[in-house]
Chains A and B, each alone.
Chain A
Amino acid sequence: MQYLINIKRRLGSGRSRLAEIKTASTSRTERAQLLLITALALAVILVTVALLLNAAIFTENVATRDTTADGPEAIELRGEVVQGISELIETENHEGSGSLTAVEEDIDAMAPMVDRERAREGTVGTLSHDPNDIESGTLLRYNETDGDARAFSEAGSNNWTLVDDLGSARAFTVAIEPNRLNATTAESSGDVFGIRFSNATEDDETLHIYEDDNKENHLAVARAVDGETPERLCGIEHGGASVDIDITGDRLSTDESVVDCHRSLWPDYDPDRIEFVNIDEEEGTASVTVDEGTDWAAAVTDTEAVYSATVDISYQTTDLTFETTARIAPGEP
């Protein structure tokens, strides 16, 4: 009997151990499922974070877009108007009568056009001027009557003064026939053809123009300060055609090529007098626009011209108001 009881007890304990084992294995399976779900949930959360981040970046991009978009347009309007009126003044001086009223009339005709152009873009742009702000001057030209090159010695054998008592000058250009120039080097160019600037207080500055001895078909410009050894500034290769030297614009050009002189050709000070010096066989033309009160050589042709115009430009949008006064004197150094 005791034996049977023992077996029963053992069986009982065995069954309960089996149940224990069974329970443990089931709970482990359940955990795996939960782990899987958690992993998936984590994946979804990570993707959501990435999406939110992207959305935030996009929002920031949109929010900060075009905040300064009106600035460039205002500056562009100014540039466009200044360029338009510059060309207008030069066209009027060179092709037309050079009269103040003509320029004034054209600026008045241009104003409603500027207004209409901006109105189409939903902004307000105005152009206005005070008639007193258009200054008259004189366009001086040294050339043959048909605009051809003329020997510089015609106006004076060795040296002659182009302008004296100069106030302001702009658009000073000299066109030279390169085959008439002396060939030399920068150091020894002090004796060849040049353009001299001077005033009562500053050192004279002379721009010597010569054919470079070291290169073929190469016109060069060198500067001598107060008669010292000249220093080469720039040069241009040419095919024998006339070379334009834009002294106020620091630029040499011939045919299709253009060279910018990175060191200013015009002196740092305001010169009182401009002379042609060491004239030999050089031929060419010269042109300069001067303001009132200047004297010039008898050999040059003088025509009435507009020296400068001052205009008021304004640009207005919902976010920006821009107003500026621009003095337009094309080619002023």
Chain B
Amino acid sequence: MSRKTIDTDRGQAHTVEAFIAALLLISGLLFAMQATAVTPLSASTSNQHIENQQRAVAHDLLSTAAEDGTLKEAVLYWNASDGSFQDSPDAGYYTNAGTQNEFLESLNNALRERRIAYNVRVRYHNTTGEEPRVRTQRMVEMGQPSDNAVTASRTITVYDTDQLSVDNGQTLAEIEDDPTEAFYAPDANPDGEGQLYNRLEVRITTWRM
């Protein structure tokens, strides 16, 4: 009688033991898979925080630059005869972090030195009547953003009397009248008596390298 009871007990324990062993094996496997799959680019709670921080940094950079005038200096750092940003490679935009003007330098110091890549694009209103109504001019292009890229933007207004921030820079109105020179954005209010030229939206896309 006693031996019979012992045998029954053991069978049950073995079954539970087998289940737990299976569970352990599977959870071990899952954990290993998860652990190997975690990269700086994979989505996680901490990654969300990194994205928020990057967005805040990019946004603050734009706000500071807009406030002290360096953002306007950067969008007007244009070579009107070549039709490209001043001191940029043949592509017409900067392909690397630069020290060409103060805004690019601040991007360099705040982002690139922390191994954060970025693209900077300027969107402007195309009022010539042709589609698309909003066009984009590249300023800095570092490549294709990753899935976890974030963006921040700031809009500034430029006026007919604003001068290009290059040596002997002409005003935007003068460039508009000169057929040999061109600024990337057209005059949004060409016939009006007012000073409004266009509104430029500077958009930074950042991602971790």
The chain A residues found within 8 Å of chain B, CB to CB, are 23, 26-27, 30, 33-34, 36-37, 40-41, 44, 47, 57-58, 61, 65, 80, 83-84, 87-88, 91-92, 95-97, 99, 101-103, 105-106, 109-110, 113-114, 116-117, 120
CB nearest to B66 among chain A residues: A83
Q: Is the CB of A91 within 8 A of B161?
A: yes
| B199 adjacent to A106 (CB under 8 Å) | no
Q: Roughly how many angstroms separate A44 CA and B25 CA in the complex, as a whole number? A: 12
Which B residues touch A84, using CB under 8 A? 155-157, 199
25 A-B pairs (CB sep. < 8 Å): A30-B10, A33-B10, A37-B16, A37-B20, A41-B16, A47-B27, A80-B154, A80-B155, A83-B157, A84-B157, A88-B159, A88-B194, A88-B196, A92-B195, A95-B160, A102-B194, A105-B189, A106-B194, A109-B194, A110-B157, A114-B199, A116-B133, A116-B134, A117-B199, A120-B134
Is there an interface contact between A117 and B23, defined as CB atoms closer than 8 Å? no
B93-138 CB contacts (< 8 Å) to partner A: 125, 133-134
- Is B167 among interface residues, defined by CB-CB distance under 8 A? no
Contact of A97 (CB < 8 Å), options: B23, B24, B27, B193: B193
A69 to B154, CA, bound (A): 16
In Å, the complex CA distance between A57 and B46 comes to 12
Complexed CA–CA distance, A92 and B161 (Å): 9
Per the bound structure, the CA–CA distance linking A109 and B199 in Å amounts to 10
| Neighbour of A106 across the interface among B24, B154, B196, CB < 8 A | B196
Which chain A residues lie closer than 8 Å to B6 at the CB level? 26-27, 30
Residues of B within 8 A of A23 (CB): 2
The winner among B157, B159, B201 for most chain A CB atoms within 10 A is: B157
Q: In chain A, what residue has the closest Cβ to B23?
A: A44
B189 contact from A34, A41, A106, A117, Cβ within 8 A: A106
List B contacts of A44 (CB < 8 A).
Answer: 20, 23-24, 27
B2 touches A109 (CB 8 A): no
Are A95 and B195 in contact, with the CB atoms below 8 A? yes
Docked pose: A99 CA to B194 CA in angstroms:
9
Known: A30-B6, A102-B195, A120-B134. A87 touches B159 (CB 8 A): yes
Q: Chain B binding site: helix, strand, loop or mixed by DSSP?
A: mixed
Pairwise interchain contact A106-B195, C-beta atoms closer than 8 A: yes
**A105 and B193 contact, CB distance less than 8 A:** yes
Q: Note all chain B residues with C-beta closer than 8 A to A80.
A: 154-155
Q: Pick the contact of A96 from B9, B24, B195 — CB < 8 Å?
A: B195
Decide: B194 and A40 in contact? CB cutoff 8 A: no
Contact residues of B with A, CB < 8 Å?
2, 6, 9-10, 13, 16-17, 20, 23-24, 27, 45, 48, 66, 125, 133-134, 154-157, 159-161, 188-189, 192-196, 198-199, 201
**Residues A109 and B192 in contact in the complex (CB < 8 Å), given A44-B23, A117-B155:** yes
CB neighbours of B125 from chain A (8 A): 113, 116
Q: Give the dominant DSSP class at A's interface.
A: helix
Contacts of A113 in B (CB 8 A): 125, 188, 198-199
Please name the residue on chain A nearest to B31 by beta carbon.
A47
**In chain A, what residue has the closest Cβ to B72?**
A87
Known interface pairs A30-B9, A34-B13, A58-B45; A110-B196 also in contact (CB < 8 Å): yes
Contact of A40 among B24, B159, B160 (CB under 8 A): B24
Least CB separation from A79: chain B residue? B63
| B194:A96 contact, CB within 8 angstroms | yes
Chain B residue at minimum C-beta to C-beta distance from A95: B161
Which 7 A-B pairs give the minimum distances between C-beta atoms?
A: A106-B194, A106-B196, A84-B157, A102-B194, A109-B189, A95-B161, A91-B159
* Nearest B residue (CB) for A84: B157
Task: Using known A-B contacts A30-B9, A116-B125, A116-B133, determine if residue A41 contacts B193 with beta carbons closer than 8 Å.
Answer: no
Q: Give every chain B residue within 8 A of A92 (Cβ-Cβ).
A: 194-195
Q: Within the complex, what minimum Cβ distance (angstroms) separates A100 from chain B?
A: 11
> Nearest Cβ in chain B — how far from A258, in angstroms?
9
Whether B192 lies near A41 (C-beta < 8 A) is no
Residue of B nearest to A89 (CB): B195
A103 to B157, CA, bound (A): 14
* B45: contacting residue among A61, A88, A120, CB under 8 A: A61
| A30-B6, A117-B155 known; A41 vs B161 contact (CB < 8 Å) | no
- From B23, B66, B195, A88 is in contact (CB under 8 Å) with B195
Residues from chain B with a CB closer than 8 A to the CB of A58 are 45
Task: Check A30 against B13 for contact (C-beta < 8 Å).
Answer: yes
Q: Are A37 and B193 in contact (CB under 8 A)?
A: no
